Structure 1
Amino acid sequence: MINQRFNMLIKIQQEREERLQAQFVSAQQFYQQQEQKYQGLANYRTEYIQQSQQQGSLGIQSRQYNQFVNFIGKLDQAIQQQGRAVQQAKNAAEQRKQTWLAMQKKRKALELLVERNNFAELQKQLKQEQKNADEYASQQFMRLRAQSLE
């Protein structure tokens, strides 16, 4: 009866663990997407600067230079903002991972408890069987002794 309850608890824990694992995987994928966006912005900034330098070597007007500086500033802001998004996504993924691992630990503890309970029950049954066998042997001995005395 106790094992049935524990088995039900283990099943519930496993279902929770699976949901938490799926949430972790989803958060990890989101983090990777955010990281890719960040890298994309950083790469675009580098390429834009390189192209602008090539064009600038041919000569550039002050208005074009101001536009270039303003655009680089906007790219820098976008990169910083995306960097914060990456860090938040990383933190969220790590938190989900820790929650999942904690649930996994609880489930394993319950399984160990059931295993120990099963072992204790088995030991109890073996003791009872040994006691019954000893009692039977003792009765047999007494009967044989009583018969030999007659």
Structure 2
Amino acid sequence: MAKHDPLDTVLKLAKDAEEQAGLQLKSAQLMLQKCQSQLEALRNYRLDYMKQMEDHHGKSISASYYHQFHQFVRQIDEAITKQIVSIQDADNQRLHRQNRWQEMQQKRKAVELLLARKADKVAQEELRREQKMIDEFASQQFYRKRVR
């Protein structure tokens, strides 16, 4: 039965942490995309609303309608400004999670490298033992032939 290497457990934990960080990164990327889509929708809504007002160009409109229009446009502009801040926050979160995922990836790779080096060392030791046995066998064969 093969011995259980504690590094195998460390590797499993590192893989799990990397996977979790990857899921969190994906979630942050989706949130950023959602915020960007909402901003695009707000901008399109504002553009459509401005086109409606342009259609009234040359027509008589009441002062209250004109005031309401400008007030509504100002509200849309405020929503756009807030959405831009939300995008910046979401992008910062995405960057943070991307850095975390990269750290977890580096840790996993480091553990895999340690395990590979350990396996190479074990293989080299096994080769040395085999070579030593072959040398001993050859020496014994040589000695037996000589003694006869």
Q: TM-score range by the shorter chain?
A: over 0.9
Tell me which residue corresponds to 2:36.
35
> Per-residue deviation at 1:146?
1.9
Match of 1:95 in 2: 96
Aligned identity (percent) is 35
Distance, in Å, in 2 between the alignment partners of 1:105 and 1:63 is 62
Q: Tell me the amino acid that sits aligned with residue 131 of structure 2.
A: Q
Offset at residue 19 of structure 1 (A): 0.8
Alignment-mate amino acid for residue 125 of structure 2: K
Single out whichever of 132-141 and 15-24 deviates more from structure 2: 132-141
Structure 1 Cα separation of the partners of residues 58 and 122 of structure 2 = 86
Unaligned runs of 5+ in 1: none
Separation in structure 2 between the aligned mates of residue 3 and residue 90 of structure 1, nearest angstrom: 42
3-state secondary structure, aligned to 2:5: helix
- RMSD between aligned residues: 1.5
Going from structure 1 to structure 2, the CA distance change for 1:140 and 1:131 (only over 3 Å counts) comes to same
Secondary structure of 2:67's partner?
helix
Q: Structure 1 residues 45, 19: CA separation in 2 closer, same or farther (over 3 Å shift)?
A: same
Structure that is richer in helix per residue: 1
**Structure 1 residue runs of 4+, over 3 Å off?**
none
Tell whether 2:38 aligns with 1:22.
Answer: no
Deviation of 1:137 (Å): 1.2
Evaluate the alpha carbon distance shift between residue 110 and residue 2 of structure 1 in structure 2; reply closer, same or farther with a 3 A threshold: farther
Change in Cα spacing, 1:111 to 1:132, as seen in structure 2 (3 Å) is: same
- Say how many residue pairs are matched: 147
2:11 matched residue in structure 1: 10
Question: How far off is 1:3 after superposition?
Answer: 6.5
**1:23-102 matches, cutoff 5 A:** 23-102=24-103
- Could you tell me how far apart the structure 2 residues matched to 1:78 and 1:56 are? 26
Give unpaired runs (5+ residues) of structure 2.
none
Letter in 2 for 1:37: Q
Tell whether the 8 Å contact from 1:31 to 1:89 is kept in structure 2 after alignment.
Answer: yes
Cα displacement string for residues 92-146 of structure 1 (whole angstroms, at most 9, x for unaligned residues): 1121111112111210121121111111110111011101111121122122212
